Amino acid sequence: MMLLLTLRGTPTIYYGDELAMPDIPVPPERVRDPWEHRMPGLRLGRDPERSPMRWDTTTHAGFCPPQARPWLPMGDPSAVDPVSVQLQDPQSMLSLTRRLLRIRRLHPELARGSFHPIRNTPVDCLAYTRDLGSARSLVMLNLGDQPTTIEFAEYATDDLLAATHPRDHSIDLSSLILRANEGIVIRLNGPATNRPA
């Protein structure tokens, strides 16, 4: 989500992405998608991504009345927290998505600024700056399943804008440990003249 919402272009968030809803298994007798009916067994249908939205903790997750049958299976209720729970959790995927959308609106360099990849990052890491006029942001993503250290002493930071994991607002870019699957967005100080190749 952080990568999507810090790159140029129009971001597309598919139904359920904001909750990190997983695809669900759909037995053949419950298939609704015409494509899957025409070519069964090839997994070309879209039903696994169209499971009912999980709004709350009631029967059928608030998607339909308790006495009704949802058009597709609900999937495992323990796989993802519903909207009502995620709204109360500042570390949930829904809260992160809302935070990223807010900073994208408040910091136009994330939506319209130039993109400058940073090439000297560790394996499994992606880092880039987004620049628009004097506004600069740095995005760092650890896409791996192990912590890694990134050293960007040449950058001066103003503020932590968003993080996928709880963090102090004080960031030391001379030796920053990114946890597994962690991403952060930082507002930078100074002109865009010190980009490492």
Which whole-number Å values give the CA distances from 36 to 14, 18, 90, 182, in the listed order?
A: 20, 26, 38, 36
Place of tokens 């419950």: 30
In a domain, 33, yes or no: no
Can you tell me the distance from the alpha carbon of 124 to that of 180, in angstroms, rounded to the nearest whole number? 10
Tell me, what's the pLDDT at 168? Answer: 72
Domain of 175, CATH number, reads 2.60.40.1180
Asked if 120 contacts 194 with a C-beta cutoff of 8 angstroms, the reply is no
Q: What would the pLDDT profile of 68-98 be if each residue is shown by its tens digit?
A: 999 999 988 899 999 999 999 999 999 999 9
Residue 184 belongs to domain spanning: 113-188
pLDDT level of residue 195 (50, 70, 90 thresholds): very low
In a domain, 173, yes or no: yes
In a domain, 67, yes or no: no
Nearest to 133 by CA among 163, 100, 107, 109: 109
Tell me, what's the pLDDT at 197? Answer: 37
In a domain, 38, yes or no: no
Strand partners, 149: 177
Total domains in the chain come to: 1
In a domain, 178, yes or no: yes
In a domain, 155, yes or no: yes
Q: Is the pLDDT of residue 164 over 80?
A: yes
In a domain, 45, yes or no: no
In a domain, 7, yes or no: no
